[in-house]
Amino acid sequence: MTSRRTAGALLAVGVLAACAPSTHSAVTGEPPTPVTTTTRVPRLVDESDRPLVAFDPCLDIPDDVLTAAGYDPRTEDNADFAATHFTMLGCSYDGIVHIPGILANYGLSVLSANFDFEEERQKATGNGDDMVLTELAGRRALLKTNTSLPYRCGMSVETSYGVLIFGRIHFRDSSAPLPESQWCVGLEDTVGRIVAVLDDFESTSR
């Protein structure tokens, strides 16, 4: 795992100065230094009063988690979206499995945003997505497909600061159609692996 992928959301360092021993005449010593907390500033910050995007997919998803999920971390490509009223930090990755005659390749995007779950649901409704409200690791989630965007599947998961959005697309190796029932196969497993990283990240950031 490279240093750029260390989960550095919250670093706390407390320094207490040593106190001099007591004497019969006076107690001397320096007052304790207050505990200082340093929070990593996101790579992008918008102009709104929304929470900062704490979890950065480009920095906080370990390489071994991506590999175990079937993606090549060396193909990482920036997928950030900058706006004045919200922030999305993200990266995309290429899949590592090729099935001759069926699957040429597939790609995954992971976007971390500071708009809330209800806003994400409204956005999906506006896009005409077919949605299934579900739950993953105790978090509200949306599974999304759209017949106007074939061979794609998305899942959005609620976070402490907003929502984590996953999108996967299949690139076929032939002209044979991929049934809609197959578009989302395996995505929940991928999301579950990354949400486990998010769980650890948020638990150490409290």
Q: What is the pLDDT of residues 15-68, one digit of tens each?
A: 222 333 333 334 445 555 544 445 678 888 888 999 999 999 999 999 999 999
DSSP-derived 3-state class of residue 125? helix
Query: Which pLDDT score, from 0 to 100, does residue 35 have?
Result: 47
Here the contacts of 202-205 (C-beta below 8 Å, separation 24 or greater) are 202/54, 202/55, 202/159, 202/160, 204/7, 204/9, 204/10, 205/9, 205/10, 205/54
Query: For the chain, what is the mean pLDDT?
Result: 83
Provide CB contacts within 8 A for 69, sequence distance 6+: 108, 189, 190, 193, 194
Name the token pair of 49.
């009063």
Domains of the chain by residue range: 57-205
Confidence of residue 136 (pLDDT cuts 50, 70, 90): very high
Domain 57-205 listed as CATH 3.40.1000: yes
Confidence of residue 161 (pLDDT cuts 50, 70, 90): very high
pTM above 0.75, yes or no: yes
Query: Would the pLDDT of 98 be above 80?
Result: yes
Write the CA distances from 63 to 7, 57, 68, 83, 123, integer angstroms. 12, 11, 9, 28, 31
